[in-house]
A and B are shown apart, each in its own frame.
Chain A
Amino acid sequence: MDILIYGTINSVALALYALGFALVYGISRLPNFAHGALYVTSGFIAWSAHNTFGLSYPMSILAAMTITALIGAAIYRLFLIRIRGMEISEIIASYAVALAILEGLRWKGFKGMTYTLPAFIAGSTSIAGISVDYQRLVVVGVGAVLVALLWLFTHYTRIGLALRGMAQDERAALMLGIDSDVMAVVAMALGSMLAAFAAVLLLPLGNIVVESGYNVLILAIAVCIVGGLGSWIGAVLAAFIIGFAQILTVVYLGSHFQMVVALLAIILTLILKPSGLFGQQKELEERV
């Protein structure tokens, strides 16, 4: 039973990590390796807004999300737009951004146990005899609502439809008057905002540490690769597969193996079925 509950919570957390990455890759084909860095950055922004500038907690969450979205848009507009379409350069450049941000934060002294965000609702309850704190329940609830909202956003709003149009066929979208550069910036801003949202939801469960930037990136990549890069349903499903696999290994093997599972999932998926479970790209395009 505890496997079921914690597996679900872990899976939703993974889905939250991955949503931003999946959104950016799905729309502008940009493997955004700065995703984890944006996640950690927004955590620290929320912390500083709350503790240094004395904003109320909801206000600092809002500030963190806005600023992170702006940072994401700026990274895209200033650097990544120049190397669009050159996948390897995109990976290297966005990874360089990630390294600069994360190691810069480490240098500024953002490390150690002192940085924690408050939970939305403190305390815990018990479900079927297992104690679960409220924050984890909030994560599951909000995660589900967020996925639903994103689905509605991409299917019923003008910007959402434009984003989806660009994801499907960029040339056709251009002909219909959708500016692909603007849309890519919007996608990057949205993806960064999702990373920030995941951060303020999930960081109260632990400390804010710089290393989690790298882990979040690996987990997001794992979820997106297993689900198929660019597929949303696949990403959610893959989050559940990896989430439960992780909890099972933690229970039966030990907590050291948590990241091993994610890395093994990436390697195995790429070897066996590189397009992932629900990848929209044909296998022929990736394999020779």
Chain B
Amino acid sequence: MNTATPQRRRERIDRGIKVRSDGLYALMSWRELTYLIAPRAALIIGLLVLPLVMPGAYWQRVISIVCIYALLALGFDFLAHHVGLVSLGGAFFVGAGGYISAILNTQWGWSPLAAIPAATIAGGVLCTTLLLPCLPLRGVYFAIVTLMYPLFLARVIEALNILGGTDGIMGVDSFPGAWVEQYTVIVLLLSFLFGIRRLVHTDLGLVLRAVKDNDQAVKASAMNISHYKALAVFIASAIGCLAGACLVHIYMWAGISVFALDFSVLPIAATVIGGSGTLVGPVIGCLILVPASELLRDFGTLRIVFYSLILLGFITFRSEGVMVYGQRKYQQFERWKMI
């Protein structure tokens, strides 16, 4: 039957250069090599150059904060979209890492460069141990329990008046210098970003994705899913603790506010905006969101309104995110086709 108006649909086709550079043959020509390397190089060089082009110490500090949030968002994205455990408790990791590093530094006199790695490992172990009983929980239940942990710890510290109580721990040493600080967090961010990207394509990453998609099948293959989940939580929480440890040394202070909801909500917003599951997306999301919220600092709490509205808009209307959109435009073209 003929319809009166000609029907058409849009079809998406991979670009030729994308197909050519998929396999080993990419090595045969500079064009294909450039096509592959350009986006990655842009990110790496861009991040490394960023502190040099920033006007003034204030904006350089903002870059450090961007990297801190990006590390958190990276951990969230890895855990949520490659293992299937949605943790709304970024603040829990930040708080654990931050307090441990602050205590190591102020009580035991460790230098920041020793206290941060120690806090990363110790915090990862601590968070994994505390989350271990919740690992069998799925979906919304795991999300709720992880959301409650940082609130709980903050109230306990407040109520028992331990670890400095509401005043927090003062006098934490800062990094040896502003440049050391920035390049430490930037290099850490880049190495974890590419490390995790590598990790999800190894055999371990495959098993973790299988845990997300069909845990019964993983169990049937005689693999202990709790073991793999615990490992993934350790990786993500260690990254979060690293972020927290760097944060307290940047602010030279650890207090209850490291358990603040900001550290749980902003990384999630960044992940949603940047593109879930791409691992690079969250970093890009942070590069957009954190400076935007700094620019809006004059408006007080209005900036939270602003970024929660952006989050709402993205999650309900454009849930694919910037990165997935960009990737599609880079790799595919679209054309109309008559049918």
* Chain A residues in the interface with B (C-beta under 8 A): 31, 79-80, 82-83, 87-89, 91-93, 95-97, 99-100, 103-104, 106-107, 218, 221, 225, 254, 256-257, 259-260, 263-264, 266-267, 270-271, 274, 285-288
Q: Assess whether B88 is in contact with A91, with CB atoms less than 8 Å apart.
A: yes
Say yes or no for B272: interface residue by CB 8 A criterion.
yes
Q: How many residues of B contact A (CB 8 A)?
A: 44
Q: Can you name 28 A-B pairs with beta carbons within 8 Å?
A: A79-B316, A80-B316, A82-B316, A91-B140, A92-B272, A93-B312, A97-B312, A100-B308, A104-B301, A104-B302, A106-B301, A107-B301, A107-B305, A221-B144, A221-B148, A225-B144, A259-B151, A259-B155, A263-B151, A267-B145, A270-B134, A270-B137, A274-B141, A285-B138, A286-B136, A286-B137, A287-B137, A287-B138
For A104, give the chain B residue with the smallest CB separation. B305
Q: Assess whether B80 is in contact with A88, with CB atoms less than 8 Å apart.
A: yes
Task: Give Cα A288–Cα B140 distance, bound, in whole angstroms.
Answer: 14
Task: Give Cα A266–Cα B152 distance, bound, in whole angstroms.
Answer: 10
Q: Assess whether A103 is in contact with B304, with CB atoms less than 8 Å apart.
A: yes
Task: Give Cα A79–Cα B318 distance, bound, in whole angstroms.
Answer: 12
Q: Assess whether B308 is in contact with A286, with CB atoms less than 8 Å apart.
A: no
Say yes or no for B86: interface residue by CB 8 A criterion.
yes
Task: Give Cα A239–Cα B269 distance, bound, in whole angstroms.
Answer: 33
Interface flags, B205-243, vs A, CB<8A=1, else 0? 000000000011001000001000000000000000000
Q: Assess whether B148 is in contact with A218, with CB atoms less than 8 Å apart.
A: yes
Q: Assess whether A270 is in contact with B145, with CB atoms less than 8 Å apart.
A: yes
For A87, give the chain B residue with the smallest CB separation. B140
Q: Assess whether B305 is in contact with A88, with CB atoms less than 8 Å apart.
A: no
**Known A225-B144, A257-B159, A288-B225; contact A99-B305, beta-carbon cutoff 8 A:** yes
* Candidates A80, A88, A97, A288; contact of B215 at CB < 8 Å: A288
Contacts of B225 in A (CB 8 A): 288
Q: Give the distance to chain B from A26, nearest Cβ to Cβ, in Å.
A: 14
- 13 A-B pairs besides A82-B316, A259-B155 with CB distance below 8 A are A87-B139, A92-B268, A92-B315, A97-B312, A100-B308, A100-B312, A107-B301, A256-B159, A257-B159, A263-B155, A267-B134, A271-B133, A286-B136
Q: Assess whether B309 is in contact with A270, with CB atoms less than 8 Å apart.
A: no
Contacts of A96 in B (CB 8 A): 269, 308-309, 311-312, 315
For B268, give the chain A residue with the smallest CB separation. A92
Q: Give the distance to chain A from B58, nearest Cβ to Cβ, in Å.
A: 23
Chain B residues touching A, majority SS = helix
**Known A82-B316, A218-B151, A263-B152; contact A88-B143, beta-carbon cutoff 8 A:** yes
Contacts of A80 in B (CB 8 A): 316
Task: Give Cα A104–Cα B148 distance, bound, in whole angstroms.
Answer: 23
Q: Give the distance to chain B from A244, nearest Cβ to Cβ, in Å.
A: 19
Contacts of B151 in A (CB 8 A): 218, 259, 263
Q: Assess whether A99 is in contact with B265, with CB atoms less than 8 Å apart.
A: yes
Q: Assess whether A91 is in contact with B141, with CB atoms less than 8 Å apart.
A: no
For B138, give the chain A residue with the smallest CB separation. A286
* Candidates A89, A256, A274; contact of B315 at CB < 8 Å: A89
For A99, give the chain B residue with the smallest CB separation. B308
Say yes or no for B317: interface residue by CB 8 A criterion.
yes
Q: Give the distance to chain B from A30, nearest Cβ to Cβ, in Å.
A: 10
Task: Give Cα A93–Cα B308 distance, bound, in whole angstroms.
Answer: 9
Contacts of B144 in A (CB 8 A): 31, 91, 221, 225, 266, 270
Contacts of A260 in B (CB 8 A): 152, 155-156, 159
Name which of A95, A266, A288 has the most chain B CB atoms within 10 A of its CB.
A288
Say yes or no for B158: interface residue by CB 8 A criterion.
yes
Q: Give the distance to chain B from A32, nearest Cβ to Cβ, in Å.
A: 12
Contacts of B312 in A (CB 8 A): 79, 93, 96-97, 100
Q: Assess whether A83 is in contact with B315, with CB atoms less than 8 Å apart.
A: yes
Q: Give the distance to chain A from B325, nearest Cβ to Cβ, in Å.
A: 18
Q: Give the distance to chain A from B157, nearest Cβ to Cβ, in Å.
A: 10
Task: Give Cα A122–Cα B139 distance, bound, in whole angstroms.
Answer: 46
* Candidates B134, B158, B215, B299; contact of A107 at CB < 8 Å: B299
**Known A91-B143, A95-B265, A221-B144; contact A254-B159, beta-carbon cutoff 8 A:** yes
Say yes or no for B263: interface residue by CB 8 A criterion.
no
Q: Give the distance to chain B from A78, nearest Cβ to Cβ, in Å.
A: 8
Say yes or no for B184: interface residue by CB 8 A criterion.
no
For B300, give the chain A residue with the smallest CB separation. A107
Q: Assess whether B317 is in contact with A82, with CB atoms less than 8 Å apart.
A: yes
Q: Assess whether B139 is in contact with A88, with CB atoms less than 8 Å apart.
A: yes
Name which of A99, A271, A286 has the most chain B CB atoms within 10 A of its CB.
A99
Contacts of B136 in A (CB 8 A): 286-288
Task: Give Cα A225–Cα B143 distance, bound, in whole angstroms.
Answer: 13
Contacts of A285 in B (CB 8 A): 138
For A265, give the chain B residue with the smallest CB separation. B148
Q: Assess whether A103 is in contact with B141, with CB atoms less than 8 Å apart.
A: no
Contacts of A263 in B (CB 8 A): 148, 151-152, 155
Q: Assess whether B305 is in contact with A103, with CB atoms less than 8 Å apart.
A: yes
For B136, give the chain A residue with the smallest CB separation. A287
Task: Give Cα A257–Cα B309 distance, bound, in whole angstroms.
Answer: 33
Q: Assess whether B308 is in contact with A103, with CB atoms less than 8 Å apart.
A: yes
